[in-house]
Amino acid sequence: MNSENELFGVVPIIPTPFTEDEEIDEDALRSLIDFAIAGGIEAVCLPAYASEFYKLTDDEKLQVVRIAVEHAAGRIKIVAQSNHPSLKIAMKLAKANVEAGADVVSLAVPRIFGLPEASLKEYLSGFLKSIPNTPVLIQDFNPGGSSISVEFIKNLMDENPNFKYLKLEEPLCAPKFEAIIKATGDKVGLFEGWGGLYMLELVPIGIRGVMPGLAVADILQKVFNLRAAGYHGRAFDLFEKVMPQIFFSLQNMELFHYAEKELLIARGVLKNSIARKAAYIPDPSSIAYIKELNQRVMDVLADESWEIKPLETSLAKE
């Protein structure tokens, strides 16, 4: 059974909303937190890649976490991303996020340049030891090669009790996920990223959850619950309805920001789809196609036949 202190299910990334002059829109950010809560989500993460964290100053990164924690007021868990290629600065961000009240602190493995695992071990161990009483989620997205090894993960867990969660974003990772669960005794909760595209393959293996964008998080939570509870046909049918939108938007991270915010506009949560420059400028064909894909998601939301029965929801958490 899922513990009250654990992350479980869908943990979406909160996008950073901006005003016309590209300043953080604090009121819109609060609306996004309310939207996640209303969708039955138990935890959210920010500021991550899908939050444009790489376009925020360090002060702004802390600003969005503080706003989220304050507005959530315990209604939903806040996972605070503390990414920085410098360990010194990442630790500073992490400590500030803990002080702000974050429930979990997250960190991406530094992948700007290739580093041997010994260097990554020194970096991650130093980070974990800097906040020993706070659970940490480590994310590894490595477009240039493989993610951290199973042996590496096991050793890191053995030396750092607060290494509680791991998010990997790579295709064909089921055997690796199985190996991690076996090696760690399932003590490190595994999350799948990349928009949740591989979730149907991985839920039966025993992943703890997925970390997609916010705009389809409530739908993917239903998919996760159905799949975990053994309602496989219904899980596939619902997932297939939203998969084209997820797949198209993830072709480019900046395109994802645009598509994600446009869908949140359609859902009545945001007023604009502004991303900080440099931002993807979609061509007329892409704009029309995204609008079509987003409308198909809206059609799913309007179809009450996809509502999950209480039994299905409760069984998913056993």
Q: 201: domain CATH number?
A: 3.20.20.70
Q: Is residue 82 part of a domain?
A: yes
Collapsing DSSP to helix, strand or coil, 166 comes out as: strand
Share of the chain above pLDDT 70, in %: 95
Contact 219, 297 (CB under 8 A): yes
φ, ψ (nearest 5 deg) of residue 18: -125, 155
Residue 309: what pLDDT?
A: 62
Q: Is residue 3 part of a domain?
A: no
Indicate if the pLDDT at residue 69 is higher than 50.
Answer: yes
Average pLDDT, the chain: 94
CB-based burial, 96-111: b 16+ in 10 Å, e otherwise: bbbebbbbbbbbbbbb
For 161-181, write each residue's pLDDT tens digit: 999 999 998 888 999 999 999
The helix (H) or strand (E) run that includes residue 182 is helix 174-184
Residue 243: what pLDDT?
A: 97
Indicate if the pLDDT at residue 5 is higher than 80.
Answer: no
The helix (H) or strand (E) run that includes residue 71 is helix 58-72
Share of the chain above pLDDT 90, in %: 88
Residue 158 structural domain: 9-315
Indicate if the pLDDT at residue 2 is higher than 60.
Answer: no
Transcribe 203-272 into DSSP letters. Answer: GGGT--EE--BSTTHHHHHHHHHHHHTT-HHHHHHHHHHHHHHHHHHTTSHHHHHHHHHHHHHHTTS-S-
Q: What is the mean pLDDT of residues 19-45?
A: 98
Domain tally for the chain? 1
Determine whether the annotation assigns residue 211 to a binding site: yes
Q: How far apart (Å, rounded) are the C-alpha atoms in residues 315 and 318?
A: 5
Q: What is the mean pLDDT of residues 12-18?
A: 98
Burial of 4 (0-12, 13-18, 19+ CB in 10 A): exposed
The helix (H) or strand (E) run that includes residue 285 is helix 284-302
| Structure tokens that stand for 119 in this block | 């260097």
Q: What is the mean pLDDT of residues 251-270?
A: 97
Residue 318: what pLDDT?
A: 38
The dihedral built from the CA positions of residue 305, 308, 310 and 312, taken in this order, carries a sign that is positive
Q: Is residue 2 part of a domain?
A: no
Indicate if the pLDDT at residue 133 is higher than 90.
Answer: yes
Quick one: which of 99, 158, 166, 167 has its CA closest to 130?
A: 99
Residue 3: what pLDDT?
A: 45
Collapsing DSSP to helix, strand or coil, 79 comes out as: strand
Indicate the length of the chain as a whole number: 318
Q: How far apart (Å, rounded) are the C-alpha atoms in residues 170 and 141?
A: 7
Q: What is the mean pLDDT of residues 274-279?
A: 98
For 282-309, write each residue's pLDDT tens digit: 999 999 999 999 999 999 999 988 776 6
Indicate if the pLDDT at residue 317 is higher than 70.
Answer: no
Indicate if the pLDDT at residue 310 is higher than 80.
Answer: no
Q: How far apart (Å, rounded) are the C-alpha atoms in residues 36 and 207?
A: 21
Residue 311: what pLDDT?
A: 47
Residue 142: what pLDDT?
A: 84
Quick one: which of 56, 2, 70 has its CA closest to 24?
A: 56
Q: Is residue 4 part of a domain?
A: no
